[in-house]
Amino acid sequence: MNPVVLLDLDGTLVDSSQGVLHALRAGFAGAGLPAPDDAVLRTFIGPPVHDSLRRVGVPADRHADVVHGYQVAFAERGNLMTHVFDGIPTALADLRDAGAVLVVATAKPHRFAVPVLAHLGLAGLLDGVVGAPLDESESKGQIIGRALASLGDRRPDRTRVVMVGDREHDVTGARENGLACLGVLWGFGDRAELEAAGAAALVSTPGELAAAALAQLGVRT
């Protein structure tokens, strides 16, 4: 069985901050709520949105209104305000050349993840995409679990699978599924967050990603 690399999207493969912040402001405004400042809104990038809304004190009965406005604004404009981190296409190509199966496991709804990957030219470097349901109700652990299930007969022993992500939710979600997680330092989390969550190792730049992932998987290059 080929080794598998599961990849977070926002903050790992792409910088979606401009579009996400734009869409979040629209979501709060549409729900008649004041938006947190940009520093707080940036912490929404990566985790399931309902977790972030709870964290900033939005009442549960208003979540659907904020999420609806956010998704409308993101679909209309925000999704196209995303760009690929420098070095990511090369890292993905190197991983595939080494025989790794690459699957995105993202808390972004599948409906938005697939077109943005195609728009940015990354779709051809990936073997699969597993995103959140449209209501964004799943935890990162549940999404990672579905990504593993999507492999079917290609699914290897879990020692031959690694998650890559930039937030604590990627690390804890991987652990819930018996996987190690590499934390990346170019995204929206930081060293302290990733170390506290228990990342197996930290990767400083996209140029180091392929080698770090293959080393974690025990693949000799």
Residue numbers annotated as active site: 8
* Chain length of the chain: 221
| b/e code 67-93 from CB counts within 10 Å (16+ = b) | bebbbebbeeebbebbebbeebbebbe
What's the rounded Cα separation, in Å, for the pair 101 and 60?
A: 38
Unique residue bearing structure tokens 């009965």: 61
Put the strands of the sheet holding 101-109 in their side by side order.
Answer: 128-132, 101-109, 4-7, 161-165, 180-184, 201-203
